[in-house]
Amino acid sequence: MIKGLRTRWAERQTNLADKNDNLGSRESDAASAQSNSPPNPWRPAGAILIAEDDPGDAYQTKRIVEKLRLPVPIHVVSDGEEVVAYLEGQEPYTNRADYPYPLVLLLDLKMPGADGFKVLRWLQTRMQHRALPVVVLTAVREITVVRRAYQLGARSFLIKPLVLTELAATLRSLEISAAAERSAGEPG
């Protein structure tokens, strides 16, 4: 199944790269790469960001993402404040070469401090981050929680513990895998 996904992603990579070239985004991307602001939305970014406070769940989620063999770095933060710092390029995430703007945020809802719902609300108030796909990860199965997450902008919702095939299908539906493949093919 994953091999088939890679073939589909490679095909989409060529089509989307052509669109990027036609939009003339190269000049604006060079300026964007030198700042801490999010990259041009027409050009792929380059990381998977996992927000999970439980070290065991964070480890398991990272291992599942690694099994997908996406050619981008995986970064883990443990609370909502760290999500904001990462997305805004604040300390210690100021170097976008080391901490590229994420292709997707895998967001636990139950975190100390700023929980997943607060992060979702914050994302909706920031125009530059609204397009960031958020996949909510939680052990809660209540329909009201699911509905609330979608109302706040989540693109998908997965119940923990995660299953490789479900995460792969979710990332494929969000076209994250294709963007990761494009990102890996770009000159650094």
The model's pTM: 0.74
The segments of the chain whose pLDDT lies below 50 read: 1-35, 37, 39-44, 188
pLDDT of 77 reads: 97
* Residue 67 near residue 164 (C-beta atoms within 8 A): yes
Nearest Cα neighbor of 108 from 61, 155, 143 is: 61
pLDDT of 175 reads: 86
pLDDT of 115 reads: 93
Strand order, beta sheet including 104-108: 74-77, 48-51, 104-108, 134-138, 156-159
* Residue 164 near residue 64 (C-beta atoms within 8 A): yes
pLDDT of 185 reads: 64
16, two tokens: 């989307």
Domains of the chain, each with CATH number or no CATH: 2-184 (3.40.50.2300)
